Chains A and B, each alone.
Chain A
């Protein structure tokens, strides 16, 4: 059992957007989130969505692995939107204070252009965020994440939590399976169909409790091993996996900076009321 079944990969990728260093990836990711989060304006969302879609495509993610997730996310969000519409069909109009009715069912259920645009923007935002996250997850290794966070001035003890966490996750998963097997060998029946809910909770407890106890028992040994190699005594530390920034890194950081400045500009304009909350063509 190994980390290979995780979506995050422990082996560094080879494509352009995977070869950047950890800090650059984090910056690019955070700026991407800011862009996607701070507006409902389709003029911004559509190009941004396309841009990040291309970025994600360029790293050739393992679509087979992501398929289930994407289907699930799509269904969830479509369902959400239907629910939104049922609860408040004028949600878009509330933002623009205008009403352009496209279609009318009855007095309450109207289908307006504003709401349509609103839903479109919302979908773009959610899937845009998902694209950026998926790019990060399929492009950053845990080592780069830890050293990149440190470069971004996150205290190193938190960076250690990140790298140690990723270090032990495959182990924990393997232990989880082992304990399950061990309990089954001792006579626990773990058949989903044959048992009731209470019974199932009990049985899961029988696996869960040892897993948790065994894992936390390890804390002492791991901490000893770290102390014995001088962890936590200095204010600073360096990272083996911390690759120096190359010209591509500066390029992408530059792009991110431009995006960020653009978004700030947009934000200032929208505070001054020069761009509408929800842009209608």
Chain B
């Protein structure tokens, strides 16, 4: 189906090759996962398959790449589009229709399909992705997951043989993520499409089987084989990808992994042996937080078009680490925006150190509360990285030397110092996100709100960022609020969780408790992580097991 032979590619604007000597065959009917750290060239590989390279992104090609026998160098993107359907990384930008039905119909409109036939085919595609009720909805009314399903429906028509997904899970909540993976699986199994999927979240993808996994790093293919083989090889950690949690746990508690097959699901792992092995876990004592309140919310109500946020009382103390979790559209981002004062509640009061924030300007609040927005593109306002980090420092009256010092430090921390003179346009999504974190960290706020800091990040960078933030909390007493869909992250780095459902706080308790409350998780479209399942299956004390796992992982990191 797709065949790369000694294929290299260099973007016109780059001085080095982004893809190096790729040899890869993808066969008809296969489902292939491409893994790799951020910036390793995964999207670039995808662009070769769908023809954006060389049609949209010029550069130098060496070797050959054919898609269904057609050489990409001589094939028009239009002809490739009849073979390959692509769902790009940015689901907002590719929604070109005014409503769902028109967006699904876009490819058919371009082929001048008569209207009656088009209607039937649009309904058919909408039925496959389960969007029939949303045909008249507007992009602004859809959640991220729904938008991604619209994009999928838009490429399902006709004789498309191959579907290419670039990070389909990036901003979906755990439940939505499962739905998406199941949908992709159906397309592969029932509709016989060849599937190529690019993702960071290995464990979530493995919710359904994949035929083959390809690991990339720095433009090269490091591994090409089965998921089991990859897990056993230990290459994942080395190249900055997170292993499935249960695998890490087994490695850790039982001195390595003895099983070499059927590792992709906890259900097929033979636990009988493990149960016999002695397991040493320490008792677990919860931390008691006796701190003085920093932020207080009293009777807050807020609505955009319809009522959304409704919170009676919420207190956040100095030095706490809290995660805010909940399904897509639950109001997490809205809550953050209320705290930063960019939107103001219609009812109720927000107190910051006892002072009513309604009398403070956004700027005054921002000197205490730093907010890293969910979408990096909305925060980045300058042309070059260094300028971007410096602008806020300048506005806050730091001297030239201080600015250079602080900006440099922040960029180094985010792992993008070497690119400091690049224009922001040349950064990948994950790199942009890290830049926004650098921007806020440079100002050293006393409360830090991170809106999905790990979306689209690889494991290695994610740990760097998180452990830095963690240090900040310990050394400076910075209060940290994480908004996240990654429950393991919540567990690793925060003691307390606030669970939002439909704008209301349905739970505010220790993270560990939240993750064990099955009813609560179901209500909030979340799901427990595999580490809990493993503990349950092993019939050990869940709290202690999980706790020790996390501590051990952190120690490993520090080594």
Contact = CB atoms under 8 A, between A and B. Distances in A.
Interface residues of B, number: 75
B118 A230 contact: no
B110 A237 contact: yes
Contacts of A143: 98-99, 102
A241 B118 CA distance: 11
Interface string B384-426: 0000000110011000000000000000000000000000010
Contacts of A175: 378
Given A2-B305, A184-B363, A240 B101 contact: yes
A223 B52 CA distance: 10
Nearest to B93: A221
B373 interface: yes
B305 A188 contact: no
B388 to A, nearest CB: 10
| Most central of A171, A234, A240 by chain B CB within 10 Å | A240
Contacts of B138: 2-3, 10
B115 A240 contact: yes
Interface string B87-130: 01010111111110110011111111111001100100000000
| Most central of A11, A186, A214, A218 by chain B CB within 10 Å | A186
A228 B112 contact: no
Interface in A163-187: 163-164, 166-167, 170-171, 174-175, 178-179, 181-187
A223 B92 contact: no
Contact of A185 (B101, B122, B139, B363): B363
Contacts of B50: 228
Contacts of B328: none
A3 B137 CA distance: 12
Interface of B: 50-52, 55-56, 76-78, 81-82, 84-86, 88, 90, 92-99, 101-102, 105-115, 118-119, 122, 136, 138-141, 154-155, 304-305, 337, 340, 342, 361-363, 365-367, 370-371, 373, 375, 377-383, 391-392, 395-396, 425, 439, 443
Nearest to A185: B366
A1 interface: yes
A238 B340 CA distance: 47
| Most central of B98, B101, B136, B340 by chain A CB within 10 Å | B98
Secondary structure call for the A interface: helix
A37 interface: no
A274 interface: no
B381 A189 contact: no
A213 interface: yes
Interface of A: 1-4, 10-11, 141-143, 163-164, 166-167, 170-171, 174-175, 178-179, 181-189, 191, 206, 209-210, 213-214, 217-218, 220-234, 236-242, 244
Contact of A240 (B102, B365, B382): B102
Contacts of A232: 110
Contacts of B107: 229-230
B82 A230 contact: yes
A55 B97 CA distance: 30
A234 B381 contact: no
B109 A4 contact: no
Given A143-B102, A230-B111, A238-B113, A217 B425 contact: yes
A183 B362 CA distance: 10
27 contacts: A1-B304, A143-B102, A178-B373, A178-B375, A179-B381, A181-B337, A186-B366, A186-B395, A186-B439, A186-B443, A210-B380, A213-B383, A220-B56, A221-B88, A221-B90, A223-B56, A227-B55, A228-B81, A228-B155, A229-B155, A232-B110, A237-B112, A239-B109, A240-B97, A240-B101, A240-B115, A241-B98
Contacts of A242: 115
Nearest to A2: B140
A224 B155 contact: no
Nearest to A182: B379
A228 B154 CA distance: 11
Contact of A229 (B110, B304, B377, B379): B110
Closest 5 pairs (CB-CB, A-B): A225-B94, A210-B381, A187-B395, A186-B392, A240-B105
Nearest to A240: B105
Contacts of B395: 186-188
Nearest to A1: B304
Given A179-B378, A209-B381, A210-B382, A228 B363 contact: no
B94 A233 contact: no
